[in-house]
Amino acid sequence: MLLLSGCGRQSLLSNKSPQTHDITLLWWWMLAAAAIVFFGAVALLTMSWLRRGAPGLPFFGERESIPEGIVLLFGIGIPIVVLVALFAVADVYLVGPSAPPDPRSAAMTVEVIGHQWWWEIRYPGTQAVTANEIHIPVGARVNVVATSGDVIHSFWVPQLARKIDMIPGRQNRVLLYASRSGTYRGQCAEFCGFQHAHMGLYVVAEPQASFQSWLANEAAPARNPPKGPVRIGERVFMTSQCASCHQIRGTPAAATVGPDLSHVASRATLAGAEIRNDISHLAAWITHPQAIKPGDRMPDLGLTAANSTAIVSYLESLR
């Protein structure tokens, strides 16, 4: 089980660019130019305050042409030069180097579908489907293709990239890049209903070998449960309303209303990252989901204590 105690705060993420050094140097030059203009204006104001009530200017006397020239220089000439230079730098030099990398340069693609109020994550080319938890390899650009299954959502992982809207019937894209291993909190950033504030997710960046191992496990069908309480739990799951909403690959449960539960026990959280994924929270979520997330599409099923315990045993085996 992953620990989400803030390791993401220790990681620094960015989309690297070959021109990073040149852009940094350019920003320093722009800062120097702005400083000259600023301190020049401060010097003029200071001089005006010191000479208040006295005629003329220091060193220049009372010639009227000098103040007029200063006004024309600092009020018209310098602003024109500075604005033209900023336009040229921002719209000519920086457009290419600072543009987002081409999605075609990404090492892999991840599909993210927003639902009220959880996230469905798919890995094209594999059978891997998970919820509320995106795994990516460290040091690789990942092309996220986002859409919505119901209302407008917004995909945002602040430490990784800008936010993008998720609109029904349309696709939007953003590139994620992690330079170090870590776990990073994401959030829906577009009001999408009653539980909008509790629609979170986590991005887990891990070494390539660990990621490949995770992906292979997620792509595999659920394992057949052993005899005993786990087998009883599978039977209760398949014969109750659970199987009418959820899919567990490799079993008769094939519904797509709620999250895919094929490897639910491998996830760190439940209910849109609202609660930890452990036995006590899982039991509470199965028994009374509306007490945890009012308005969620998962209803209180009225399960007996025995059936709830059996289902928890079964789901805990799905790793």
Domain 229-316 carries which CATH code?
2.60.40.420
Q: Taking a C-beta distance cutoff of 8 angstroms, is the pair 207, 182 a contact?
A: no
pLDDT band for 97, please (50, 70, 90 cuts).
low
Rounded to a whole number, what is the distance in angstroms from the first to the last CA of the chain?
10
The overall pTM is greater than 0.85 = no
| Range 40-65 average pLDDT | 69
Confidence label for 76 from pLDDT (cuts 50, 70 and 90): confident
How far is Cα 262 from Cα 245, in angstroms, rounded to an integer? 13
Contact 173, 192 (CB under 8 A): no
Task: Return the CATH architecture of domain 103-219.
Answer: Sandwich (2.60)
pLDDT tens-place string over residues 246-264: 999 999 999 999 999 999 9
The set of residues, in sequence order, having a beta carbon less than 8 Å from that of 192 and lying 6+ positions away, is 114, 116, 117, 151, 152, 153, 199
Q: How many CB atoms lie within 10 A of CB 160?
A: 25
Domain map of the chain by residue range? 20-98, 103-219, 229-316
83 token code pair: 């604005």
> How distant is the alpha carbon of residue 251 from its chain centre?
32
User: Is residue 15 pLDDT above 50, yes or no?
Assistant: no
Which H or E element spans position 152? none
Is residue 168 within 8 A of residue 134, CB to CB? The reply is no
Top mean pLDDT of 34-43, 61-70, 80-89, 304-313 is at 304-313
151 vs 94 pLDDT, higher one: 151
Confirm whether 103-219 and 229-316 share one CATH topology: yes
Q: What is the helix (H) or strand (E) element at residue 263, kind and residue range?
A: none
Quote the distance between the C-alpha of residue 236 and its chain's center.
37
pLDDT confidence tier of residue 14, bands split at 50, 70 and 90 = very low
Question: pLDDT: is 268 or 86 the higher one?
Answer: 268
Select the more confidently predicted residue: 74 or 39: 39
Q: What does the pLDDT look like over 178-199, one tens digit per residue?
A: 999 999 999 999 999 999 999 9
- 184 within 8 A of 13, measured Cβ to Cβ: yes
Higher pLDDT, 263 or 17: 263
Q: What is the pLDDT of residue 214?
A: 96
pLDDT of residue 74: 75
317 or 56, higher pLDDT = 317
β strands within the chain, DSSP E: 108-115, 118-122, 129-131, 133-137, 142-148, 153-156, 164-166, 172-176, 182-188, 200-206, 269-270, 275-276
Query: Residues 205-229: pLDDT tens digits?
Result: 999 999 999 999 999 999 888 888 8
Which is more confident, 115 or 228? 115
Kindly tell me if the per-residue pLDDT of 265 is higher than 80: yes
More confident residue, 73 or 223: 223
What pLDDT, on the 0 to 100 scale, is given for residue 152?
96
DSSP 272-290: TTTEE-SHHHHHHHHH-HH
CB 284 within 8 A of CB 295: no
Q: Which of 80-94, 116-130, 238-252 has the lowest mean pLDDT?
A: 80-94
Mean pLDDT of the chain: 84
Q: Is the confidence at residue 7, as pLDDT, over 50?
A: no
Give the pLDDT of residue 17.
Answer: 41
What pLDDT does 207 receive?
A: 96
Stated as kind and residue range, the H or E segment containing 43 is helix 20-50
pLDDT at 202 over 80: yes
Model confidence at 232, pLDDT cuts 50, 70, 90, reads: very high
Residue closest to 234 by CA, chosen among 261, 195, 259: 261
Looking at residue 12, what is its pLDDT?
Answer: 32
Q: Token pair for residue 173?
A: 């894209």
At 16, the pLDDT band (50, 70, 90 cuts) reads very low
